[in-house]
Every structure is written in C-alpha cells, then in structure tokens.
C-alpha cells in the first residue's frame, strides 16, 4: 500500500536560550517570487547573478522571501519585534496575491504566548510587512503593549514628504496601522535602551529610520538586523548590489557594508527578518575579504 502524499511540512518556530533570556523566531509567512536579479542585484554585470546563484546552489531567478518576527522574553518583559503581514492581503484589494497572509498570533499561541502577554512591540521600521498585524478587528492586537520606533522613521512617514510613487501604498498603511498608535510609542534614537539588555542600532537605508536591535544577556549577544540584508546570498556576498525594496539605495549599501563588517568582527549571531528560517546565523569573512551567511547549527542548543 502506498502512503498518500501529505504536502510540504516546514518548521515555523525556533526558541533558544540567550544567557538568561529566551528568544524565539517565528515564521509569520513566506512568498516565492520571480526576479532574483531584478530585485536583489541592481548594478550587477551580465552573467554575475547566474554565476553567484550556481556557486551557492540556488535558482538564478526564483527566490523565497520569508517574514520572521522575533520574541524575546527577558524574564521580566516579553518583547516582540515587528508584527508581520497580518491581514494585509484580506483588507486591501491591491495587495491580494502580492503579500501572504500572516500567522504570527496563531504561531505565538502554539509556543504558549497570548497577545495579552506582550509588554513591548519594538518596530524595526514601518514597511507594511512589519506592521501588518498591529490591529485585529479595529483594536490593537497586543492590547497591553507599549511600542518603540525610531523617531526618524516615524517622522519620515508622518510628514510624507518626497515619498516615491511606489511607496505611496506604504504611506497609506502607515496612516492606517502605525500613526494611530503614536500616543503609546516611545521614539528611539540609535543606542537607546528598549528594556535592559536590548538597545537600538542604526541600520538606516532600507528605510529612513531602519532600526536593528542588539540583544545581550549573560555574555551572549544577538543582533537583529531587520532588513539590512534582504537575501542571504545577494545581500551578504554582494552588498554593493542595490535592492529594489530599499528606499535609499546608496545609504542601504553603506549600511550593509558597515553592519556586515561589524557582525563579522564581533562574531555575534544575527537574526535577519528575511533570512531563511529559522533566520539565525553569523557572518563569515572569506579569503577574498567578502562575506557569507552561515546558518546556525546547534550553537544555541548546547
């Protein structure tokens, strides 16, 4: 007797100890897209994308785009970093078929967390895939939380000056999903503390105030770099290539180089919002001075 096909099955939660903290990555959703080169390799010479793809054993055209919020339990406060896609596709006709449904809340429940348990929601930036689950049924999804966000990021979207045509839908979602929470927000500058052990890191470029977060406990460190690199091969191995999703492409290139150099030198682990799940790894420096993403093995399990 032949067993029936069951379809793909993949992990969606990964929790580990970081000193005295618990940290968890959550696969909110993912999309498979066409156009590896057209999205992630602006300025590449003919044949370069194909050669890099072959060298890394990935498809030279199609790529997976995951969306990965993070939870950190410090023992005193539960901090959520970004809220994922939520119901963006259901609520916006223009986004149907373009963004996947978010599953953050249901997957948090599988791991033992309720929305009411979240004490802080720390946003990396205000692009829709990071604020999509801020509200449920017209009410804040995380009713007991305060919010943190870079002052530069909030001000940019609030003013709405010089926003490109392509980003006008982002401004619309900001006004709908982020601006109403302003009175519950703490606005951050680089280096500011969110809670003890968690500090804001300047990663501006992909967005006006893109904020990473340095998480440290018991001598263990992890950097949440958010959307600094949007693809684990192109963004890391070829940081000079511009990316269609970046709001300020040249600034984003400069930031990628700076953050990659820092992560490689400091040898701390990194979580990337769009890195392959569980989205945890480190940055290795190769013989030619370029970098590569190395997925975590069991380092956080022993």
The encoded tokens of residue 2 equal 């032949």
Cα–Cα dist 41/17, whole Å: 36
Contact 252, 225 (CB under 8 A): no
β-pairing, 269-272 vs 78-81, is unpaired
Check if the beta carbon of residue 25 is closer than 8 Å to that of residue 271: yes
The pLDDT value given to residue 158: 97
Q: What is the pLDDT of residue 97?
A: 80
What is the full per-residue pLDDT of the chain (302 aa) written as tens digits? 799 999 999 999 999 999 999 999 999 999 999 999 999 999 999 999 999 999 999 999 999 999 999 999 999 999 999 999 999 999 988 788 889 999 999 999 999 999 999 999 999 999 999 999 999 999 999 999 999 999 999 999 999 998 999 899 999 999 999 999 999 999 999 999 999 999 999 999 999 999 999 999 999 999 999 999 999 999 999 999 999 899 999 999 999 999 999 999 999 999 999 999 999 999 999 999 999 999 999 999 99
Q: Would you state the pLDDT for residue 96?
A: 83
Its CATH architecture, for the domain 13-295, is: 4-Layer Sandwich (3.60)
Give the C-alpha separation, 288 to 227, whole Å. Answer: 25
pLDDT of residue 278: 98
Distance set, CA 128 to CA 52, 132, 178 (Å)? 30, 5, 10
- Give the pLDDT confidence score for residue 125 in this predicted structure: 98
Please give the pLDDT value at position 256. Answer: 98
CB of 163 within 8 A of CB of 171?
Answer: yes
End-to-end CA distance of the chain: 41
Tokens of 166: 């392509």
Integer Cα distance of 124 and 229 in angstroms: 13
d(CA 95, CA 89) in angstroms, rounded, equals: 5
CA 267 to chain centre: 20
pLDDT of residue 92: 87
Domain map (residue ranges) of the chain: 13-295
Gap between the Cα atoms of 57 and 240, Å rounded: 21
Query: Phi and psi for 202 in degrees, rounded to 5?
Result: -70, 120
What count of other Cβ atoms lies within 10 Å of the Cβ of residue 282?
Answer: 19
Q: Residue 292 corresponds to which tokens in the numbers above? A: 């590569």
């Amino acid at each position: 007797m032949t067993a029936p096909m069951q379809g793909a099955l993949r992990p969606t939660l990964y929790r580990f100890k970081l000193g005295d903290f618990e940290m968890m990555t959550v696969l909110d959703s993912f999309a498979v897209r066409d156009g590896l080169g057209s999205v992630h390799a602006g300025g590449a010479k003919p044949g370069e994308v194909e050669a890099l793809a072959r060298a890394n054993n990935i498809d030279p055209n199609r790529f997976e785009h995951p969306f990965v919020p993070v939870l950190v339990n410090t023992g005193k406060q539960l901090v959520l970093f970004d809220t994922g896609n939520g119901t963006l596709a259901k609520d916006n006709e223009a986004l149907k078929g373009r963004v996947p449904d978010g599953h953050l809340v249901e997957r948090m429940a599988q791991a033992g967390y309720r929305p009411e348990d979240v004490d802080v929601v720390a946003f990396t930036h205000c692009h829709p895939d990071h604020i999509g689950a801020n509200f449920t049924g017209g009410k804040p999804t995380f009713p007991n939380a305060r919010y943190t966000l870079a002052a530069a990021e909030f001000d940019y979207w609030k003013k709405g000056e010089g926003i490109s045509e392509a980003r006008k839908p982002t401004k619309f979602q900001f006004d709908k999903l982020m601006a109403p929470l302003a009175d519950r927000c703490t606005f951050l500058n680089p280096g500011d503390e969110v809670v003890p052990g968690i500090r804001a890191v300047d990663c501006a470029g992909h967005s006006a105030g893109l904020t990473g977060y340095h998480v440290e406990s018991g001598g263990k460190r992890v950097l949440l770099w958010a959307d600094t690199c949007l693809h684990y091969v192109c963004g890391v191995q070829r940081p000079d290539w511009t990316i269609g999703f970046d709001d300020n492409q040249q600034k984003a290139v400069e930031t990628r180089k700076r953050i990659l150099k820092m992560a490689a030198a400091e040898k701390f682990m990194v979580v990337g919002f769009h890195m392959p799940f569980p989205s945890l790894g480190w940055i290795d420096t190769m013989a030619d001075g370029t970098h590569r993403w190395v997925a975590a093995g069991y380092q956080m399990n022993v």
